[in-house]
Amino acid sequence: MTGYGRQRLEGFAFLAGFTACIPAANWMIGNVGTVCPPDGPCLIPVAPGLMAPSGVLMVGLALVLRDLVQRRLGLIWAVAAILLGGALSWAVAPAALVAASVTAFLLSEFADLAVYTPLQRRGLVLAVVASGLVGLVADTVVFLEIAFGNLDFLWGQIVGKGWMIVLSVPFIAWLRRRDQRFGFETAG
């Protein structure tokens, strides 16, 4: 397989993973957690004494995967992935969370895109981390305000999404080194 073919294949794998994050996050909020209050989201611990809705892990991963879709397939594919993700969010979010889920998803992913795009040529790890941080803060504030009318889970959400970004750094660094070694060009 040529380098270009490998990049496209990887890009579509990242796109599939990104797309799977949206229904997974919405499903987890209602079904996975160490605590699942009857009228609230299922919660998981993200740090000692700090809880967050369980979907936080998939949202953090989605921020990273969106960057990788853009790296492998290009800006047009990244925008299409965001719009597809918004539609999926609308289709799979619990009725009470549809507006919060769709609005937060679209805003955070476009914020991520706006930060990642100019930084990607300077350094992949820097671009993924910086764009992920911007996206996670936007997602957290918008989602919590619309869904619950408060920021009670603010720090738990930030830490939970941040963990996914931090955990992705070794893979992102490896991918960058491999791309440089084989002379892979990024799609943009």
Task: Evaluate whether 110 touches 84 at the Cβ level (below 8 Å).
Answer: no
Mean pLDDT value of segment 5-32: 91
Q: What is the pLDDT of residue 74?
A: 93
pLDDT digits (tens, 9 = 90+) for 75-132: 999 999 988 888 888 888 777 778 888 899 889 999 999 999 999 988 889 999 999 9
pLDDT digits (tens, 9 = 90+) for 119-166: 998 888 999 999 999 999 999 999 889 988 999 899 999 999 999 999
Answer whether residue 166 is part of any domain.
yes
Backbone angles phi, psi at 60, to 5 degrees: -60, -40
Answer whether residue 56 is part of any domain.
yes
d(CA 139, CA 184): 32
- For residue 32, give the H/E element and its range: none
Mean pLDDT value of segment 56-74: 94
Residue 39 confidence (pLDDT) above 90: no
Q: What is the pLDDT of residue 16?
A: 95
Task: Evaluate whether 115 touches 128 at the Cβ level (below 8 Å).
Answer: no
Residue 53 confidence (pLDDT) above 70: yes
The pTM (predicted TM-score) of the whole model is 0.88
Answer whether residue 188 is part of any domain.
no
Answer whether residue 187 is part of any domain.
no
Q: What is the pLDDT of residue 76?
A: 94
Residues in Cβ contact with 84 at an 8 Å cutoff, skipping those fewer than 6 apart? 19
The larger pLDDT score, comparing residue 13 to residue 98, is at 13
- The DSSP code sequence of 63-103 is HHHHHHHHHHH-HHHHHHHHHHHHHHHHHHS-GGGHHHHHH
Residue 13 confidence (pLDDT) above 90: yes
Mean pLDDT value of segment 46-72: 94
Number of domains in the chain: 1
Q: What is the pLDDT of residue 130?
A: 95
Residue 15 confidence (pLDDT) above 90: yes
pLDDT over 70 for what percent of the chain? Answer: 97
The domain of 13 spans 3-182
Mean pLDDT rounded to a whole number for the chain? 90
pLDDT over 90 for what percent of the chain? Answer: 63
